[in-house]
C-alpha cells in the first residue's frame, strides 16, 4: 500500500483520520459482471472524492475489500450517499453479502489486519 507523504505526515502528527473497510462476497459467481459495473466506477469516484486521502481495493480469501481513509466521518457519509456508490448500496443486498467497518484512527491497517477487522468487528451488510 502506497501512502501519500501528506497523509503519512498527518498520521505522524497524531491527527486522526476516518478509516472505512468494506468486505463483500458475491451471492452467486455469475453476479461478477454486476460487481464490476458498480465497483470499478465507485472506486474511481472514491479516489477523487473530496476528503478521501486513500482508496485501495484488494481481494483476500474470496472477499472483495475496499480500504478508504478520509478526513472525517462526514466526508465518508457524503461520498457513500452519492453517485455510483449510492446506486451500489441499493443493489447490494440482492447480489452481495458482507461487512462494513468505520472507525477513527491514527494509523492505517495493513491488508491482513483490514480483512481480519472487517470480518470480526464489521457490521453485517
Position 49 confidence tier, pLDDT thresholds 50, 70, 90:
very high
- The whole-number pLDDT of residue 92 equals 77
Helix (H) or strand (E) holding 95: helix 83-95
The more confidently predicted of residues 82 and 59 is 59
Closest among 25, 9, 109, 94 to 65, alpha carbons compared: 25
- The whole-number pLDDT of residue 51 equals 93
**What does the pLDDT average to over 39-44?**
89
**What does the pLDDT average to over 42-63?**
93
CATH number for the domain whose boundaries are 5-124: 3.30.70.100
Averaged pLDDT of the chain: 90
Closest among 22, 21, 13 to 106, alpha carbons compared: 13
Q: What is the pLDDT of residues 69-113, one digit of tens each?
A: 999 999 999 998 887 777 777 777 888 899 999 999 999 999 999
Using DSSP's 3-state secondary structure scheme, residue 20 falls into strand
**What does the pLDDT average to over 1-22?**
89
- The whole-number pLDDT of residue 35 equals 87
Distance CA 46, CA 42 (A): 6
Angle subtended by helix axes 83-95 and 73-80, to nearest 10: 70
Amino acid at each position: 500500500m502506497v501512502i501519500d507523504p501528506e497523509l503519512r505526515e498527518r498520521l505522524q502528527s497524531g491527527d486522526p483520520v476516518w478509516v472505512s473497510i468494506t468486505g463483500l462476497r458475491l451471492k452467486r459467481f455469475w453476479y461478477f459482471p454486476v460487481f464490476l459495473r458498480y465497483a470499478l466506477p465507485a472506486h474511481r469516484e472514491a479516489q477523487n472524492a473530496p476528503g478521501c486521502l486513500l482508496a485501495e481495493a484488494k481481494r483476500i480469501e474470496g472477499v472483495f475489500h475496499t480500504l478508504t481513509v478520509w478526513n472525517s466521518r462526514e466526508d465518508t457519509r457524503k461520498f457513500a450517499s452519492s453517485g455510483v456508490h449510492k446506486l451500489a448500496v441499493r443493489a447490494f443486498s440482492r447480489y452481495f453479502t458482507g461487512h462494513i467497518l468505520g472507525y477513527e484512527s491514527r494509523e492505517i491497517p495493513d491488508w491482513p489486519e483490514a480483512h481480519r477487522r472487517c470480518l470480526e468487528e464489521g457490521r453485517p451488510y
